[in-house]
Structure 1
Amino acid sequence: MRNYTAILQKEPFDGQYSKSSVIVTLALGLALYNCVELALLILTTFKRWRGLYFWSLSLCNFGVASYAFGMMTDYWKLTVLWATKILVTMGWMTMITCQSLVLYSRLGLLVDNDKILKSVKWMIIVNSCVVFTIVDVLDWGSTYSSDMSYLVGYYYIELIQITIFTLQELIISGLYVWKTYSLLQVVSKQNTRSMVSQVLAINIIIIAMDIALLVMQFHHMQLYQESFKILFYSIKLKLEMNILSKLVDLVHGSSVKNRSMTLEAIDSNAVQGQAQLDVQRELNGGRGSIIKWYGSDSSNNGAAHVQKDFGNVDPRFSPSMSGSSPVDGDDDGDDTIARVLSHPNDLNNSLRHPSSTTNARTSGREVDNLYADFCRVLSK
């Protein structure tokens, strides 16, 4: 039993500035600084305080701050033990769950598969409910009960929970890596490729930090693991806010320039047949033309024809109807954003019947959906 106690015990501050005390102080200080900065960014970025993305981002930031304050009071013995454990428990549960919800809230921008999205959602819910219940019971039992079985159970559940939540975040980040990598195969415009590469790089950095925390946990570096965990989660949260903003800019621009960039970013050599000629002809045309897609006849196998017409433009396709940026806090964050990837047949259906690919919540934005549908086919 002494071995389990020694492994789980974190040495408090002894009044001497050693290597451990400096690392803990720097990690906690940087984490709290990131929390303050991120809170200001959230307050100044979001126009409307609602939606899954806004609340998961805000609550995750609150969880990081709560966990940091809890560890501060524990390391420097600033308050009673039960108050410290409340701060740590509340912070840990909020931080872990909402971190995954932040990524899930924007996953629909890239993944157009309801089964995958529902599986990710229920994975987060089930893991949070089951794992946190067991961990909290064993944690509080090992602290206030004389039964040593609580301590043994808490030792093993610590290893299990960090493994489960690391795998959970690896799965979600892996989906981003998979889909952004597939976009690189068809995107040729340099600025757009750079943006997609940044999305890919940030997700790889997030995965690397998750693996580093897992390694420290299995090497029983308890004090360092908890200190760096707070710092890493604050960094990951800032990176995720940056990555998702870039992803929104990539999938759906709020200006005519961003919408026209969709065709320019496509590698026309990756398209076959009449569609290739149409894309190349449009790219060689004027920059300021308004593009309107019409349904094609069966002889061209569903290829789209491009017609530049300044006089007969449907007023619904006016730039003023393009919608606002998703950071304004719309419900669930992705209702006003066209998805990038879908089934190949969606293009032909959308070209022949544009209204069939829209619903009441996306009416007035048909041209954006048609551009997104075109990207879906090229991404396959």
Structure 2
Amino acid sequence: MTDTTTSGTTAGRKIAAGATNTVMPLPTAMAAAAFVGIAWYLCAELSVRLLIRCTRRSLYFWACLVCCWAIAIHCVAITLNNFYVWTHYSSIVVIHLMWFTYVVSQSIVLYSRLNLVMKKSHVNRYVLYMISINAVVFGLTTVVLGMVARYPKNIANLKLDKANLIWDKVELAAFFIQETIIGLLYIRATSAHLKNMTLLGRDRHTTRRDLRHLIEVNVFIIVLDAALIGVCYTGFFNLQGFFKAAIYAIKLRTEFTILNQLRSSLHGGSYHRSADVVTVVRDQPRQDQHARRHESEDSNMEMVVMADHAGKIRVRSDIVVSTNRVEKGDSSGDFLRA
């Protein structure tokens, strides 16, 4: 009885070891696990930051949040499918839909903040058209072809698998070109901001630093996309899905940091417009504004208190308060308009 159990256990271990080798080699599995861990960590951290710090539910907020959750779900589905834990056809559907969701959402994240540095509305509109056309022509086509090619009852699976592999390289190149174009637009517009002193705002040192970081981040993103192209075109198809999820998570995290820094630095300029708020900042420093507002409140309180006395004192207080306001409002017209 013991010998039978021992031999059965040994056979089971051999089968399990053979199954593991068949599914994915150990070095590839370890690399895939590292990429999945990076993607999950960055998505979890970014989701918490979004839910805590973002007060406005704008296009930028929803695009970031949807991209985070799509990457996380995609990693779970592709891991379970590659290791034969979730072999149902529904896993293929989830993998392709989540891929389409996070790829398109990441482009929308870049588009939603492009108006920080790009003041030409027609260029922003063309970028939106490009994202929409690529999403339909290359994104949806990849989803449909992938799901049809892996449908269990499809007779022409072998032919469609080859077509799917070729088309996967085509769509990857198309999205690489799209994100490279958006990155180059950021770099060009940022370079123009660095040359124009009026666009830098009051805190020019901080704004210049953030603009330079924006250029560096966009160059870094283009390099990451080029690395993804290299992994795909060298034939590492099984590793490509995990690597792509990690790359998009890294890109989203770096974009979230630099775009928020850019938004806060440009907020100190003379005029700032973003997808969330429209703010007009006055020419005088903020401390002077608070000091003048405080003095105005003191004058109002003085007028109210003295208005409770006799009529002569009331008339005199009105003269003093109005004179004080004119003298205080010579440097800016805020209180004169009030």
What TM-score, normalized to structure 1? 0.63
Structure 2 equivalent of residue 88 of structure 1:
95
Structure 1 equivalent of residue 37 of structure 2:
29
Structure 1 equivalent of residue 142 of structure 2:
135
Matches within 5 A, 1:197-346: 197-253=212-268, 310-312=328-330, 313-315=332-334
C-alpha separation between the residues in 2 aligned to 1:179 and 1:12?
53
C-alpha separation between the residues in 1 aligned to 2:96 and 2:28?
23
- Cα deviation for residue 137 of structure 1 reads 2.5
Structure 2 equivalent of residue 195 of structure 1:
210
2:155 to 110, 126, 146: 146
Check if 1:47 corresponds to 2:62: no
Percent of pairs identical after alignment?
25
Higher relative contact order (CA 8 A, sep 6+): 1
- Cα deviation for residue 18 of structure 1 reads 2.2
C-alpha separation between the residues in 2 aligned to 1:316 and 1:176?
40
The CA RMSD measured in Å over matched residues stands at 2.9
Q: Deviations over 1:70-96 (max 9, x none)?
A: 111122222123132122112101101
Q: Are the counterparts in 1 of residues 77 and 91 from structure 2 also a CA contact under 8 Å?
A: yes
| Residue 139 to residue 17, structure 1, CA distance change in 2 (3 Å) | closer
- The AA in structure 1 aligned to 2:101 is T
The SS at the match of 2:81 is helix
The SS at the match of 1:153 is helix
Structure 2 equivalent of residue 175 of structure 1:
185
C-alpha separation between the residues in 1 aligned to 2:41 and 2:134?
30
Q: Deviations over 1:294-322 (max 9, x none)?
A: xxxxxxxxxxxxxxx8423333899xxxx
C-alpha separation between the residues in 2 aligned to 1:86 and 1:154?
15
C-alpha separation between the residues in 2 aligned to 1:97 and 1:136?
13
Q: Are the counterparts in 1 of residues 146 and 164 from structure 2 also a CA contact under 8 Å?
A: yes
Q: Are the counterparts in 2 of residues 70 and 88 from structure 1 also a CA contact under 8 Å?
A: yes
What TM-score, normalized to structure 2? 0.70
Q: Are the counterparts in 1 of residues 96 and 147 from structure 2 also a CA contact under 8 Å?
A: no
Q: Are the counterparts in 1 of residues 100 and 140 from structure 2 also a CA contact under 8 Å?
A: no
- The AA in structure 1 aligned to 2:333 is D
- Cα deviation for residue 60 of structure 1 reads 0.7
Gaps of 5+ in 1: 1-10, 261-281, 291-308, 319-380
Q: Are the counterparts in 2 of residues 110 and 176 from structure 1 also a CA contact under 8 Å?
A: yes
The SS at the match of 1:78 is coil
| Residue 228 to residue 186, structure 1, CA distance change in 2 (3 Å) | same
Greater shift, 138-147 or 22-31, is seen at 138-147
Structure 1 equivalent of residue 117 of structure 2:
110
C-alpha separation between the residues in 1 aligned to 2:19 and 2:336?
64
Q: Deviations over 1:25-68 (max 9, x none)?
A: 111012111111111000101113x2211111111111111211
- Cα deviation for residue 192 of structure 1 reads 2.8
Q: Are the counterparts in 1 of residues 46 and 253 from structure 2 also a CA contact under 8 Å?
A: yes
C-alpha separation between the residues in 2 aligned to 1:182 and 1:56?
27
Matches within 5 A, 1:1-12: none
- Cα deviation for residue 287 of structure 1 reads 9.7
Gaps of 5+ in 2: 1-17, 272-282, 290-326
C-alpha separation between the residues in 1 aligned to 2:38 and 2:261?
25
Q: Are the counterparts in 2 of residues 69 and 87 from structure 1 also a CA contact under 8 Å?
A: no
Structure 2 equivalent of residue 335 of structure 1:
none
Structure 2 equivalent of residue 347 of structure 1:
none
C-alpha separation between the residues in 2 aligned to 1:72 and 1:149?
25
Structure with higher helix content: 2
- Cα deviation for residue 286 of structure 1 reads 9.3
C-alpha separation between the residues in 2 aligned to 1:214 and 1:52?
29
- The AA in structure 2 aligned to 1:240 is E
C-alpha separation between the residues in 1 aligned to 2:19 and 2:36?
14
The SS at the match of 1:123 is helix
C-alpha separation between the residues in 2 aligned to 1:185 and 1:142?
52
Bigger Cα Rg: 2
Structure 1 equivalent of residue 166 of structure 2:
156
C-alpha separation between the residues in 2 aligned to 1:317 and 1:43?
42
Number of paired residues? 262
C-alpha separation between the residues in 2 aligned to 1:139 and 1:218?
18
